[in-house]
Structure 1
């Protein structure tokens, strides 16, 4: 059996290193994809993700908007969760504050984290949150109740989007999930029949 020429061995080594580099790069991108996607959604309003802002623009339109508030709790978390009002009606551009009430109905402390979206998704880019309790872990003791504000406005730029001329209502939907290390945890199939009380 003849030995592999050194130039061919160098090509094999180079190819192996390139393949290893590509594999490591793909692994790194896989870990970075979720935070990058989340950042993209927050920056563009893609997928019903509201924009995050610091203050209203100061422009207020005569156009009225109704925002409905949807509050849900994952079956794996024994909490009661509701908005102070099912909906509000206001002028586009005015800053609004709505409080949610969250109560731990279980007989043990538990930790939850809320996710959210806005529908219709095309209008999410114009729903700007100034303050929100979402994506922050909250631990509640048995029977403990917490009130959490959402401060937001609908950007007057919505009037420039002709595709949204007929949109006069939005729904802000929150869902609380059990949390582990700051991440929502979906209920496993084995937990479906277990009681939280």
Structure 2
């Protein structure tokens, strides 16, 4: 039986990707653009505000091409499995794609396992602000950010493979927390 990871590896290996990668991600130290988007957590719609989320602690903002595709499903599962670690670091996780909210309501339950929210950037305006839009203009690129409560980008990680996004975000948060506790 072929697993999702095996299928994704086959797609990447054969070059059947969604499109070419976006421009370089916003660099660490830059001010994170503020946004509010319709989102879903456990199938329930709400309005996600970056500004409001940052009042509670750091935010892991990850962009992904499309719900229910092999790589995006892998990434959602990985984030869902790591949510206890993100909670321990007082971090909010939000996934963003250019899918419709109705699609994300289903994705938030099945693939995100009701553990974190996903937001609908149907116009691609937020993806554009974060240099996370594929040249096709139809999908977001696979780019992850960690944003500190002072609205600054702590980490940006861009890679078509979903495999390291969770680890990179956790490592950046752990280093930030260690540095913050020394001050």
TM over 0.5: no
Name whichever structure is richer in helix by fraction.
Answer: 2
Determine which structure has more spread, i.e. the larger CA radius of gyration: 1
Name whichever structure is richer in strand by fraction.
Answer: 1
TM-score, scaled relative to structure 2: 0.24
TM-score, scaled relative to structure 1: 0.23
Higher RCO (CA 8 Å, separation ≥ 6 residues)? 2
